[in-house]
Chain A
Amino acid sequence: MSHSIAQLAQALRARRTSSADLARQALDAARRSTLNATITLDDAAAIAAADRADRALAAGSASPLCGIPLLHKDIFCTHGTRTTCGSRMLENFVPPYDATVVERLAGAGAVAIGKANMDEFAMGSSNENSFFGPVRNPWDATRVPGGSSGGSAAAVAAGIVPFATGTDTGGSIRQPAAFCGITGLKPTYGRVSRWGMVAFASSLDCGGVLARSAADCAEVLRAVAGHDPRDATSMDVAADDYVAALSTSLKGIRIGVAREYFGAGVAPGVAAVVREALATFERHGAVLVDISLAHAELAIPAYYVIAPAEASSNLARYDGVRYGHRCADPASLEDLYTRSRAEGFGAEVRRRILVGTYALSAGYFDAYYLRAQRVRRLIANDFSGAFAAGVDLIAGPTAPTVAFKLGEKSDDPLAMYAADVNTVAVNLAGLPAISVPAGFSEGLPVGLQLIAPAFAETALLAAAHQFQQATDWHRRVPGAGA
């Protein structure tokens, strides 16, 4: 199913297909797939939703998403469908409520066929940290799809669904989108409600979308964005018409090229592809401006203090008392806690809980947590300074390399964390960013990241869309040759 949302919407209205057919095709494709991109497929719920969509279409529904199948990252709570967050801890957790994102997409008539695989509690950059097994990259099954929204990215790239939801705490939408050759949008923090999104690091977590194009991302964002009274950090900012603005030309757009994003860790092949993509922007009227983001190198250490600190607290509720995994025959309360958590959480989650607990502990709080927060402000100031100095967008490679091999970094957490170097700063600053396919290196997709000022998704999506009008990288599909 390598069609765009707009193509499918047209086919549905022309009666060339039905929502029920699309849902069945997607469910079949997911079952045939060897990528391990899904954790749960909910046929009954999918078919029921598809039938509703078909009736709505017959009644003339104007919603562009009506009848379109999708996967939800298994971090979004789905009423009646288990929500594991990639963890043994929540292996059998069935929420009695929908996440706002789930509710809004259902309201737009989109048809969820199930839940996408992910790194446990969204902690990881390779999708190797899932209790349900690693996801494989559709371009090369020996490679990782990126993470933590690896199942979402692989499923879209493999054509199982035209789009999937994801979450991005430090790059978890953009990096897998880059590794899988698709488009991934991380909106401004506060643009999309976090209600029903299992928390990893609350001040950084951001719901978003992985799709085949910026235009499709715009359609989905239009459906999910907007203030939600159930999330106190959701911003009451008027939602623009992201779709209508897509035709805005690149002429005169000033793109800041951050020299720090082309540092020593960036593979030469990746840098070359991104430089060429930037040249494409320039050919279409954009102005490239050399800029510096002075504190870029501090983003990783700051992120890997703040995110684990918040996680250590957010994950305290998984204690084996009320729901979730509980160890057998606890001998005492202490035993109940320690064994339930040791058995329920994987190694990376345990590691981050330990790191975060340490960073918040008396005597270390100032040196780690507070210092990281000060760095966070410096990083945010770098961005706002650049935008204030007149650039409209900031660009660079989404990830320093193409998709790496399964197992290549799984024993080296620091190397794994370093792969997030270009994405985490955006979360620390709360900005919107998108990764678009920009070409190939070593036969694997390379992503270009564009970053915009807060709540400037319209400009961000328009620039990405104009680039995709000028290129066809986003139309390449695995197996069809790169």
Chain B
Amino acid sequence: MTPSPGPSRPSMASEDPSRPSMASGALGLLPGALGLLPGVSHLTSHGSWQPVIGLEIHAQLSCSSKLFSGASTTYGAEPNTHASVIDVALPGTLPVPNRAALDKAIRFGLAVGAQIAPHSVFARKNYFYPDLPKGYQISQYERPVVSAGRLSVRVDDGRTIEVEIQRAHLEEDAGKSVHDAFHAATGIDLNRSGTPLLEIVSAPVLHSPAEAVAYLRTVHTLVRWLGICDGNMQEGSFRCDANVSVRRSGETKLGTRAEIKNVNSFRFVEKAIEYEIERQIRALENGESIVQETRLYDAAHHRTRPMRSKEDADDYRYFPDPDLPPLVVAAADIAAIRATMPELPAERRARYQAELGLPEGDAEQLCVDRATADFFEALLAALKGAAPGSGAAGASPHGQAKIAANWVLGELAAAQNEAALPIEAARVTPAQLAQLLLRVGDGTISGKIAKDVFAAMWRGEGDADTIIAARGLRQISDSSALEAAIDAILAEFPKPLADYRAGNDKLLQFFVGQAMKRTKGQANPQQLNALLREKLAP
């Protein structure tokens, strides 16, 4: 798999632009209070209308071969070099299901507490299109492998909503039509044809663009966490269609919906839904009616436009695929997969808060992807291992966890972001970072110096001890040396000294700064402070 182009957490955060401000504060409601009142979030920005949104997420399963053939799923190869006779739909070829894809679907199902069908059925979705070689797509229709799951989703305004996942089913991807490579002709690339997808369908229970995006991000985190999808939106491994309708507040019947197709970033999903809600409200308030149709999001103009309406929508003539017997999942298969399930993001978040005493925000950010959380765990383990049971970094276990979290989310994330490297490729290992934090804890260096040492470690100049020794960064805790430095400063700055003694307390910082300068930043800050106060006293 091609690594994603940047550290996923920061890059995704950066995709989150300023949204129309949420008005919960303005309404005088405490953040979180809305969570107790499901269905009232429309109060936030859509007047007396309630948007109703359901998402269909297509997650490309991280399988090395296709759903029904042995061809490779590697992205970006020469056109039609990863298309077997099955993917090209030559006569007489037959599909054979990829068991690894089924296992990944089950893994997702278990993670959302869903039912796993003991028999699920592949069906054919029939339509003609040049990049659909068989003239039908093999999907699951009436009996999907995963049904009736739930996912807790934290919305940016602090609420947690429970999103019902109606189903998740296996299906194969189509090929690609290439419109710009040939003069007056369309090329067909079947490399993607037959790639395994998991289509995850939420119930229409989301009521704002923010809720929809929060849900989408939660699923995105989960599928990567489970190792079943690389989540790469640029390459199309994770994409989403949104079904959007609006209804008058209090109305229980769903309004006529429009489906917005294939929106390929979190930002665009939010913008497209926002636009679509406004469009529908405007239309209804003008006395028009909504047409059930498929719409495309035009990112350049921030609007949606009709693609096809229901009148000319295809009749897909679904029927069970006679080439494929029902997929049988035995209880033992489920148990075997359950036994290898990782701790889920929500569980780990809760543990970080409960056992490590981390603030909710830190726990949330650490668990945004598994690699970050695993880095953090390895860092904690290395700290404990270095000085078992001692609160090695000179802090209580909780304090130590907080320090570790600060470093992972602070210096490390910043360095990754700048170098555009995912955490898996971080240039400082958890063990190396632990050594650095231990040197802060035992007083060898200050926290401030530690940042410089970290930067040097990131540049590959060696481990923390080597850099501290080579650069002579060891902190000055020798009180006679510090006293000598202070005496010299006091002699040099008689005027500030007099002012301080006359009552200008603010000048303390001036003397701290001067002392640090004189000791090249190596003075032990606590000790320096104590000695200064003592000497400055009239």
Interface size of B by CB at 8 A reads 29
Q: Which among B92, B135, B318 is the interface contact of A99 at CB below 8 angstroms?
A: B92
Q: Shortest CB–CB separation between residue B172 and chain A, in angstroms?
A: 14
**Is A444 an interface position by the 8 A CB rule?**
no
Indicate whether B355 reaches chain A with its CB closer than 8 angstroms: no
Given A96-B85, A313-B135, A317-B133; A230-B91 close (CB under 8 Å): no
Q: Chain B, 103-117, contact with A by CB distance < 8 Å: what is the 0/1 string?
A: 000000000000000
Q: Mark A212-229, 1 if CB is under 8 A from B, else 0.
A: 000000000000000001
Q: Is the CB of B324 within 8 A of A232?
A: yes
Binary per-residue interface labels of chain B (236-270) against chain A in the complex, 1 for a CB within 8 Å, 0 otherwise:
00000000000000000000000000000000000
- Judge if B79 is at the interface, Cβ distance under 8 Å: no
* Residues 120-171 (chain B) with a chain A CB within 8 angstroms: 124, 126, 128, 130, 133-136
Indicate if A365 sits at the interface (CB-CB under 8 A): yes
- Nearest-Cβ distance from residue B244 to partner chain A, whole angstroms: 24
Distance, CA A7 to CA B135, complexed state (A): 48
Taking the nearest CB of chain B, how far is it from the CB of A92, in angstroms?
13
Chain B neighbourhood of A315, CB < 8 A: 135
Say if the beta carbon of A95 comes within 8 Å of chain B.
yes
Contacts of B90 in A (CB 8 A): 77, 95-97, 323
Complex Cα–Cα for A95 and B90 (A): 8
Residue B459 CB within 8 A of the other chain: no
Nearest residue (CB) in B for A341 is: B128
The contact of A361 among B95, B134, B315, B321, by CB within 8 Å, is B315
B183 interface residue per 8 A CB criterion: no
Contact partners of A203 in chain B: CB under 8 A? 322
Q: Mark B203-232, 1 if CB is under 8 A from A, else 0.
A: 000000000000000000000000000000
A195 touches B94 (CB 8 A): yes
Residues of B within 8 A of A319 (CB): 128, 130, 135
The one of A75, A85, A337 in contact with B128, judged by C-beta atoms closer than 8 angstroms, is A337
Enumerate chain A residues within 8 angstroms of B309, measured Cβ to Cβ: none
| A316 contact from B94, B96, B136, Cβ within 8 A | B136
- A85: contacting residue among B85, B91, B94, B317, CB under 8 A: B91
CB atoms of A194 and B130 under 8 A apart:
no
Residue of B nearest to A370 (CB): B319
Q: How far is the CA of A203 from the CA of B326 in the complex (A)?
A: 13
Q: How far is the CA of A241 from the CA of B491 in the complex (A)?
A: 110
Set B92, B188, B317, B319: member contacting A199, Cβ < 8 A: B92
B31 at the interface (CB under 8 A from A): no
Q: Is the CB of A317 within 8 A of B89?
A: yes
Residue of A nearest to B95 (CB): A232
Which residues of A have CB within 8 Å of B133?
Answer: 317, 321-322
Docked CA distance A321–B133 (Å): 8
Check A95 against B92 for contact (C-beta < 8 Å). Answer: yes
Report yes or no: B323 in contact with A202, Cβ–Cβ below 8 A.
yes
Residue of B at shortest CB range from A228? B94
Q: Specify which chain B residues have a CB less than 8 angstroms from the CB of A233 in the assembled complex.
A: 322-325
Given A310-B322, A360-B319, A361-B317, answer yes or no on A198-B92 (Cβ-Cβ < 8 Å): yes
Q: CA of A367 to CA of B360 in the docked complex: distance in angstroms? A: 57
**Closest beta carbon of chain B to A201's beta carbon, Å:** 7
Given A97-B85, A194-B94, A232-B97, answer yes or no on A202-B319 (Cβ-Cβ < 8 Å).
Answer: no
Distance A361 CA – B91 CA, assembled complex (angstroms)? 24
Given A83-B91, A90-B91, A202-B323, A321 and B130 contact (CB-CB distance below 8 Å): yes
Given the complex, which residues of B lie within 8 Å of A335, measured CB to CB? none
A317 lies within 8 A of B91 (CB): yes
Interface flag for B61 (CB, 8 Å): no
Closest to A76 in B: B92
**Is A134 among interface residues, defined by CB-CB distance under 8 A?**
no
Note all chain B residues with C-beta closer than 8 A to A162.
Answer: none
B486 on interface, CB distance cutoff 8 Å: no
User: Distance in Å from the Cβ of A270 to the closest Cβ of chain B?
Assistant: 33
Bound form: Cα–Cα A97–B85 in Å: 9
What is the distance, in angstroms, from B356's C-beta to the closest C-beta of chain A? Answer: 49
Interface residues of A (CB under 8 A from B): 75-77, 83, 85, 90, 93, 95-97, 99, 194-199, 201-203, 229-233, 309-310, 312-313, 315-317, 319, 321-323, 333, 337, 357, 360-362, 365, 369
Instruction: Write 25 A-B pairs (CB below 8 A) sorted by A numbering.
Output: A77-B90, A77-B92, A90-B91, A95-B92, A96-B90, A97-B93, A99-B92, A199-B92, A202-B321, A202-B322, A232-B95, A232-B96, A233-B322, A313-B126, A313-B136, A316-B136, A319-B130, A321-B133, A322-B89, A322-B133, A323-B90, A360-B319, A361-B317, A362-B315, A365-B319
Given A97-B90, A194-B92, A316-B126, 20 additional A-B pairs, CB 8 A = A77-B90, A96-B90, A97-B93, A194-B94, A195-B92, A195-B94, A202-B321, A202-B323, A229-B96, A233-B324, A313-B126, A313-B319, A317-B89, A317-B133, A317-B134, A321-B130, A360-B317, A360-B318, A362-B317, A365-B319
